[in-house]
């Protein structure tokens, strides 16, 4: 990744400093992309989605990032989405009855859990990798490793082939996807200490464009 630029999308809805710092600590040159033209110059895009689904999609559309992300992922250029940055890749969310980017078929639904389990799902939980998980993305990691989550909604992909990890919280849910050069996690790698940084490092090591 040395010599290549990593664009972290900043659409003005949250604090993304921890994500920027994590990639800088791994030796990346990071640029804050406040508009699509800035991100277009990068070798890879990281999208740390913040806030609620309808507001996020509204901000993406108002800024033109929605078009950029669709074109970027369709062109198979390296992308990593985090938390809401995973959810908006799908067609629709129960949160605000809002449409997503429709990169992948599927929806986003709210957790409905027994009273002893709180929503949002917040804190450390285990990851279990699917048979489809790319070996390079899981390098240095093992089933049961702990990652940090903060979310009230979960993705439900129609295609199981893109699922690279599951987590249990009142039942199994999808906690990560991977398809070609597009990868996204429900958990926050930047808040997950060494294991989270390992996933970021694996992503950086696999960047081949341009």
Q: Which of 56, 83, 138, 182 is catalytic?
A: 83
Of 121, 151, 183, 188, which one is the catalytic site residue?
A: 188
Catalytic residue (one of 121, 182, 183, 190) = 190
- 190 catalytic? Reply is yes
- Annotation marks residue 188 as catalytic: yes
List of residues 6+ apart from 193 with CB closer than 8 A: none
CA atoms of 53 and 153, how far apart (whole Å): 10
Determine contact, residues 184/80, Cβ cutoff 8 Å.
yes
DSSP code, position 75: T
The reply to whether 71 belongs to the active site is no
- φ, ψ of residue 56 to 5 degrees: the values are -65, -50
Q: Is 119 exposed, middle or buried (0-12, 13-18, 19+ CB in 10 A)?
A: middle
> So which residues are the catalytic ones?
83, 188, 190
């Amino acid at each position: 990744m040395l010599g290549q630029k990593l664009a972290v999308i900043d659409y003005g809805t949250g604090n993304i400093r921890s994500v920027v710092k994590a990639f800088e600590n791994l030796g990346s040159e990071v640029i804050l992309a406040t508009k699509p033209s800035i991100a277009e110059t990068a070798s890879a895009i990281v999208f740390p989605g913040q806030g609620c689904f309808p507001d996020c999609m509204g901000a993406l559309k108002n800024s033109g990032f929605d078009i950029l992300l669709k074109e970027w992922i369709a062109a198979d250029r390296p992308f990593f989405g985090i938390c809401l940055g995973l959810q908006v890749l799908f067609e629709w969310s129960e949160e605000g009855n809002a449409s997503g980017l429709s990169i992948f078929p599927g929806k986003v639904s709210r957790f409905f859990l027994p009273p002893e389990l709180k929503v949002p799902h917040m804190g450390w939980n285990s990851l279990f990798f699917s048979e489809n998980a790319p070996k390079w993305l899981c390098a240095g990691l093992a089933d049961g490793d702990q990652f940090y989550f903060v979310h009230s909604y979960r993705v439900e992909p129609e295609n199981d082939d893109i699922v690279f990890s599951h987590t249990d919280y009142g039942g199994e849910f999808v906690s990560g996807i991977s398809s070609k050069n597009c990868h996204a996690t429900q958990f926050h790698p930047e808040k997950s200490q060494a294991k989270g940084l390992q996933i970021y490092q694996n992503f950086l090591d696999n960047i081949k464009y341009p």
